[in-house]
Amino acid sequence: MEKKKFQIDDLFLLKQINNTKILPDRTILFEEQKMNQKENKYNSAIYKIVDNEPLQFTIGLSQDKNMKLSPQKDRIAFLSSRGDEKAKPQIFIMPVDGGEALRFTDVTDGVGNFNWSLDGTKIVFTHRVNTEEQEEEDKKKNNKNDKPTELDIKIKKLEKQEKEQEKIDPRVISKIVYRKGTSFLDDRTSQIYLLDLESKEITRITSGSLNYSTPTMGINNAMIYAEKYKEKGPINDLYEYEILEINLENKEEKLLKVAYGFGPDIKLSPDGTWLVYSTIQNLEVPTTENSHLTLYNTSTKLEKWVTETIDNHAFSPIFDAESTYLYFISDEWDRNAVYRYNIERETLEKIYMGDSLINSFDVDSTQGIISMNVSTQDDIGVLQVYDFIYKELKTLWKSNENLLKERILAETEEIRYKGFNDKEIQGWIVKPPGFDENKKYPLVLEIHGGPHTTWSPFERSMWFEYQHLASHDYVIFYCNPQGSSGRGYDFRYVVQNWGTEPEQDILKGVDQVIDKGYIDKDNLFITGGSYGGYMTAWIIGNDDRFKAAVPQRGVYNLVSFWSTTDITQFTKDEIGAFPWEDLDQMWKLSPISYVNKVKCPTRVIHSECDFRVPISQGEEYFASLVKLGIEAELIRYPEEGHELSRSGKPKHVKDRLEKIVGWFNKFKS
């Protein structure tokens, strides 16, 4: 069969793997997600590799995800939103050798985090409730014999609907951060619940109006370890958490540690001895700090700084079954690696790094293997097993192999060059199918967000976008300018310097690509999202070489951004000031201050429910362009948020790609 270029509807055929677990017989479980074009949503199911082929393990008509293997490795628990469109995720459990998945929860707002107890008899989870609902739960607990009639249930439901409507008509706001994701925050907070698997009885453990997260149970089910968000007054985007030990008998909370950053994500070793949590070491500028892993002994209170010698983010910690080693992932340039730390000897070693990005992994130290969900340059959904005893890597499944056999993949070339202050910059050139170095091609410059993100030829969120642009005969260039992660703290530190120096890193790369001789200098285009949208607007306000631009979900006015985003402290940390402290500095670092110098046609893309970078940013920039006589459009996506390009509704994900290519094609000569 003759291969052909990628078409836009191939987007709906691509699959990706999101989780993997190892069974005692070396059987591998994994979750596979795909778009449902007809219903305009995503489906995911759990699969099992049998005889080198995937056997579907769960029904997958909704989202079956977040599977966790019981400590005895005889059952899996997972979250599923089975039911109607408004169904919330509930806990289902099934045997690892197959059978019917049974539902164990039916909580109104759905289950958040959950974990098995060490003996496999209970599950601890979080669920969002307000103080009134907590009081109702307590009343029901004290009056177990008073069973409500169907009429009582209907009346209660109507009363609840009326109360919910009253809360938003009008909305009374008392906190700076009152919306996140794509929703307004209500008065509910995440509380800890305990599920007894034998009786199916559910008991709430915590109460109040602060959020708890990542609960895990200790030895003999006597204690629960969890994190609690420290919220002070009306400023509720702090980076401070309490790590607690909660006594199940009397529900008393004992403060063990205070952690800082964006969520400690604690885990307990199988022997119940060690807690691992992530934190940052320096609070001066939290957003630029490395996420470090620290061990805390629940008996002796001894602490061990696991990642002290690693100058990059460390994440996804996993204990082995014997509580001897802690395994985790750390960034390294354009890829990442698996490390392991010997808890007793306090030694650290890298045990695997390949030509891929590891999106999730599991470890079985008894069998000496790691199962990994990876994305590679050639496929975004690959399941691999690495034997770290014999140093052997085996690919078990490629989710997109059949599709990719029929498509021409764009060739990717790495380049390295000197950026600002002669810092080495890593970048990539993506070439169209049938590339001919003697021809002249239009160039699309893609810029990543963050600014502390890292892009890679193995990075799955941009993989199809590059293939799509290349199929339209564009050469694509992208790089990791200063500010990117994976290169250590110093490289990532661009505080009060979002624009000029990263711009030079990026444009010097564009010059490098042009010097290769196959780029049409009269057909240069530029796009990027979030901080990439910021840099797109910054560059076209300071450089007139680009023929058309598509800034997406960008920060354009730092003066107005800080008070409308859901990360208000972020602006202070990164820019160094609030408007009343240094208005000139904030305006100078805002792309909108250079909008009068923009010459190229600009299509601004933004989502109406983006509460990370609110759509007012896009509206300000678009209105300014029109007022100045620049050809401009504003594309608004209803019901979408900041994650449109990664997890938006499938039809919007497709439309966004068409809007980018369509704008460039319109002005390409």
Q: Which domains does the chain show, CATH number per domain?
A: 410-667 (3.40.50.1820)
C-alpha 479/C-alpha 487 separation (Å) is 13
The predicted structure's pLDDT at residue 59: 86
> What pLDDT, in 10s, does the model give residues 69-107?
999 999 999 999 987 777 899 999 999 988 889 999 999
The predicted structure's pLDDT at residue 86: 78
Q: Closest Cα to residue 419, out of 511, 505, 539?
A: 505
Note if the bond before 170 is cis, omega within 30 degrees.
Answer: yes
Beta bridge partners of 212: 228
The predicted structure's pLDDT at residue 100: 87
What are the angstrom distances between the C-alpha of 328 and each of 69, 230, 349, 603?
18, 26, 11, 41
Residue 496 DSSP SS3: coil
Q: For the stretch 304-320, what's the b/e string if a residue is b when 16 or more beta carbons lie within 10 angstroms of its beta carbon?
A: bebbeebebbbebbbbb
C-alpha 60/C-alpha 43 separation (Å) is 6
> What pLDDT, in 10s, does the model give residues 564-597?
999 888 888 899 999 999 999 999 999 999 999 9
Q: How would you write 33-53 as a 3-class SS string?
A: EEEECCCCEEEEEEEEEECCE
Q: How would you write 219-260 as a 3-class SS string?
A: HHHCEEEEEEECCECCECCCCEEEEEEEECCCCCEEEEEEEE
The predicted structure's pLDDT at residue 147: 66
pLDDT along the chain (669 residues), means of 10: 92 96 93 94 93 87 93 95 84 92 93 95 96 86 66 65 74 85 89 96 94 94 92 61 94 93 86 94 82 95 95 95 96 95 96 95 94 96 96 96 96 96 96 96 97 94 97 98 94 92 97 97 97 98 97 97 91 92 96 98 98 97 98 97 95 98 97
The predicted structure's pLDDT at residue 31: 97
- Residue 188: partners with Cβ closer than 8 Å, 6 or more residues away: 109, 128, 129, 130, 133
Is residue 496 within 8 A of residue 576, CB to CB? The reply is yes
The predicted structure's pLDDT at residue 569: 85
The predicted structure's pLDDT at residue 237: 62
Q: For the stretch 31-68, what's the b/e string if a residue is b when 16 or more beta carbons lie within 10 angstroms of its beta carbon?
A: bbbbbeeeeeeebbbbbbbeeeebeebbebebbbbbbb
> What pLDDT, in 10s, does the model give residues 367-423?
999 999 999 999 999 999 999 999 999 999 999 999 999 999 999 999 999 999 999
What are the angstrom distances between the C-alpha of 188 and each of 129, 164, 221, 508, 635?
5, 11, 27, 49, 33
Please report the DSSP string for 320-347 in residue order: -TTSSEEEEEEEETTEEEEEEEETTTTE
C-alpha 567/C-alpha 40 separation (Å) is 30
What's the alpha-carbon Rg for the chain, to the nearest Å?
26
The predicted structure's pLDDT at residue 288: 86
Is residue 193 within 8 A of residue 127, CB to CB? The reply is yes
* Angle of helix 531-540 versus helix 500-514 axis, rounded to 10: 70
Termini Cα distance of the chain: 34
| Angle, CA 429 vertex, CA 424 and CA 433 arms, to 5° | 165
C-alpha 412/C-alpha 476 separation (Å) is 9
What are the angstrom distances between the C-alpha of 101 and each of 94, 107, 133, 150, 398?
5, 17, 29, 28, 26
Beta bridge partners of 319: 326
Helices (H), 375-530: 401-404, 463-471, 489-492, 500-514
Tokens of 564: 């409308």
The predicted structure's pLDDT at residue 87: 86
Is residue 482 within 8 A of residue 502, CB to CB? The reply is yes
Q: Closest Cα to residue 343, out of 315, 330, 327, 324?
A: 324
* Angle of helix 463-471 versus helix 650-667 axis, rounded to 10: 40
Please report the DSSP string for 58-89 in residue order: S--SSBEEEEEE-TTSSEEEEEE--SSTTPPP
> What pLDDT, in 10s, does the model give residues 253-263?
999 999 988 77
C-alpha 587/C-alpha 338 separation (Å) is 42
What are the angstrom distances between the C-alpha of 28 and each of 460, 564, 610?
22, 45, 37
What are the angstrom distances between the C-alpha of 277 and each of 202, 258, 293, 308?
27, 10, 6, 14
- Residue 143: partners with Cβ closer than 8 Å, 6 or more residues away: none
Is residue 625 within 8 A of residue 602, CB to CB? The reply is yes
Residue 421 DSSP SS3: helix
The predicted structure's pLDDT at residue 236: 56
Tokens of 531: 């901080």
Q: Closest Cα to residue 20, out of 382, 457, 314?
A: 382
Is residue 326 within 8 A of residue 318, CB to CB? The reply is yes
The predicted structure's pLDDT at residue 233: 47
DSSP 471: H
| Angle, CA 562 vertex, CA 560 and CA 564 arms, to 5° | 75
Q: Are strands 441-447 and 519-529 parallel, antiparallel or unpaired?
A: parallel
Q: Are strands 602-607 and 548-552 parallel, antiparallel or unpaired?
A: parallel
C-alpha 89/C-alpha 102 separation (Å) is 13
Tokens of 19: 């989780």
